[in-house]
Amino acid sequence: MRILITGAGGQLAYDLQRVLEGHGGHSGRDDSGGSHETIPLVRADLDVCDSAAVWRALETHRPDVVINTAAFLRVDDCECQPEAAFRVNALAVRALAAACRHVDAALVHVSTDYVFGGQPEREPLGESATPAPTCVYGVSKLAGEHLIRCTWSKHYIVRPCGLYGIAGSSGKGGNFVQTMVRKARAGEPIAVVDDQTCTPTYTLDLAQKIAWLITTGACYGLYHITNAGWCTWYEFARTIFALAGIRARLTPTTSTAFNAPARRPAYSVLRPDALRALGADDLRPWPDALRAYLVETAVIPE
């Protein structure tokens, strides 16, 4: 199978490549579906906002599947650059879906838990839950989802949450775990919000489940894919330090005190109803995934 990956400089794209090519680390499962040919394209290779270039790339490579990991990820910047956010996260996604339709390639689009956050419920949210984004980033990603649905039927829309991976995050200058370990080792005081609940998710585990989706003929549609369980970001940080054996100057804070330009979801725990219906809701608990990540990045011994 020929699989083209956009935004190939990011942490999820890195793990998708190693999983799909058959050398994908250890997540406790074998969901890779075998070895496939991947075509990783970083922004310098393909700007997804250039629709003509997108069409040329797909006509040239003729992939069976396109996995779109390209996005405007800097949540706070989206608040002051809404046009750019919608150009990358919505309009470019529609053009990509149209190009996939043209070459009859299935499209896997990576969305976000940020399509939620404004709802009053504080219980895990299934795919049928009504979105309620609280920031420009979340609205732009939700718009991208809608544009895919009305453009091309052969799609998988994947909503993850709290991603971290060994390649870091090129769009954010490092992932949360890396940042916490670096700050703690430097002896810096660390304040982390304790009123935002999510599910930290290891990109290797997400990559393996995406690989399973596209190689086993699962039904097209919307999928929530995260590690199991949930915590606040403060609890996540505390667990990082406990597992790593690092003494940190960690204190909890509130979203109000943190005063970020973009309003983050207060609660965005995703329930994987679609995977459960397929008997594939088997991602490991987030603390186990975190430990595996810390081993793989040599923060702790195996």
What is the C-alpha to C-alpha distance for residues 100 and 59, in angstroms, rounded to an integer? 9
What is the C-alpha to C-alpha distance for residues 260 and 258, in angstroms, rounded to an integer? 6
What is the C-alpha to C-alpha distance for residues 299 and 181, in angstroms, rounded to an integer? 9
Pairing of strands 249-253, 189-193: parallel
Name the percent of the chain in helix, strand, coil, to the closest 5: 40, 15, 45
Contact 54, 71 (CB under 8 A): no
- Tokens representing 222? 């919307």
Which residues are identified as catalytic? 137
Task: Output b/e per residue, 20-56; b: 16+ Cβ within 10 A.
Answer: bbeebbebeeebbbeebebbbbbeeebbbbebebbbe
Q: Nearest CA to 108 among 227, 209, 226, 228? A: 209
What is the C-alpha to C-alpha distance for residues 37 and 3, in angstroms, rounded to an integer? 6
What is the C-alpha to C-alpha distance for residues 271 and 125, in angstroms, rounded to an integer? 5
Q: Distance between terminal CA atoms of the chain?
A: 34
